[in-house]
Amino acid sequence: MKKRNYIYIEGIATALDPIHQGGDTTGGTIAEFRRELTRVDNVYEYMPVISANSMAGLLRRETVQWVLDQIGFEKFTADQFRQFDILTSGGGRVTAANTPGYVDLFTENELRELFPTVSLFGGSIGNRMIKGRVRVDPVVPICVEMKQRLPAELHELADRWHIEDMLQELNFSAMDNKESSDWRDYLDPLALEQWKSEKEQRAQKGQAPDNNVKMRYGVECLAAGSMFHLGFLLKNPTEVELGTFLGGLGYYFENPIIGGKSNRGFGRIHIDLKQYKLLGFQREEGELAVGAVQAASEFLAGNAERIKQFIREGL
């Protein structure tokens, strides 16, 4: 009897807004898109990709919030910030209660049971690295140049676009609000006149303006309407872990965002997902296992006090 249970959830995301993720290049007034080295035909080039780490961070946050809502958790206190760190980011080497600096296998199993988000996304606790059961794929633009990184069934769709068709640079202006008539009635007239006079004097002398003058900056992004492939592999999840992951995915669907600058009109996407069970050289498509969400919710609610006690006493 096969004991391995690998579940792959993949989908296509369509950008409703321009998409941007900041790259490593700094300086200048253009915020470049993050890139990864990718083989394009027989040449390696740096291509725009939303990192798997960025996507995993989004999903961990939504999944942790879903879990905390299921157990009716109120607030983390100051002495529980390390517990907060391990749940929300997987960092901060948290020790187990009554065994400082040491986490044995029994404790790890208990942590995986009570905190399915730790089991799913992993973390560093005491002496032990807990390996997550979820592998998050990078979010890859669907285009000719990225065919090497896309499933075969998307190659025909990818042939429709080149990456240069999708990339654009959007330019913005940052305006000094003292120049806006909207704020005229909120500013002292004499102070405003003095500011304008000093500004004109600096301009006449060829001096650098103050730090609040109007400036222009640009953002490199993938245009609205661009399509992306995304995927998540769950390795041997329990029913509670699968339900917890899908519960967090449901929270993510309430406001699906990728990349940065979401408060500036970037990042909204629409997602279509499919679930597969991997069977050797084949995969079997099925519906998203939404029934597992109810099972996970009931488990967490039934163990709410145990989980809260774990948080209070320290992991």
Question: Angle 239-254/52-70 helices, nearest 10 degrees?
Answer: 100
CA distance 313 to 315: 7
Token pair recorded at residue 312:
């209070």
Q: What is the pTM of this model?
A: 0.82
Report CA dihedral (160, 161, 165, 170) to the nearest 10 degrees.
110
Confidence class for position 125, pLDDT limits 50, 70, 90: confident
| pLDDT tens figures, 39-96 | 998 899 999 999 999 999 999 999 999 999 999 998 888 888 888 888 887 765 455 5
pLDDT of residue 58: 92
Top-confidence residue, 245 or 217: 245
Token pair recorded at residue 8:
């792959």
| pLDDT tens figures, 147-195 | 999 999 999 999 999 999 999 988 877 667 777 777 788 888 888 888 8
pLDDT of residue 51: 92
Q: What residue has token string 């027989």?
A: 42
Query: In the predicted model, what is the mean pLDDT of residues 235-249?
Result: 94
Top-confidence residue, 289 or 271: 271
| pLDDT tens figures, 204-224 | 776 655 555 456 778 899 999
Instruction: Please answer whether residues 117 and 242 qualify as being in contact, where contact means their C-beta atoms are separated by less than 8 angstroms.
Output: no
Say if residue 14 is exposed, middle or buried (CB neighbours under 10 Å; 0-12, 13-18, 19+). middle
CA distance 229 to 143: 10
Top-confidence residue, 217 or 225: 225
pLDDT of residue 68: 94
Confidence class for position 199, pLDDT limits 50, 70, 90: confident
Residues β-bridged to residue 220: 169
Top-confidence residue, 207 or 303: 303
Confidence class for position 28, pLDDT limits 50, 70, 90: low
CA distance 268 to 259: 9
DSSP characters over the chain = -----EEEEEEEEEESS-B--B-S--SSSEEPBPEEEEEETTEEEEEE-B-HHHHHHHHHHHHHHHHHHHTT-----GGGHHHHHHHHTS-S-PPBTTBTT---HHHHHHHHHH-HHHHHH-EEETTEEE--SEEEPPBEE-SGGGGGGS-GGGHHHHTT--HHHHEEEEEEEE--GGG-GGGGGGS-HHHHHHHHHHHHHHHHTTPPP-TTS-EEEEEEEEPTT-EEEEEEEEES--HHHHHHHHHHHHHHHHS-B-SS-GGGT--BEEEEEEEEEEETTEEEEE---THHHHHHHHHHHHTHHHHHHHHHH--
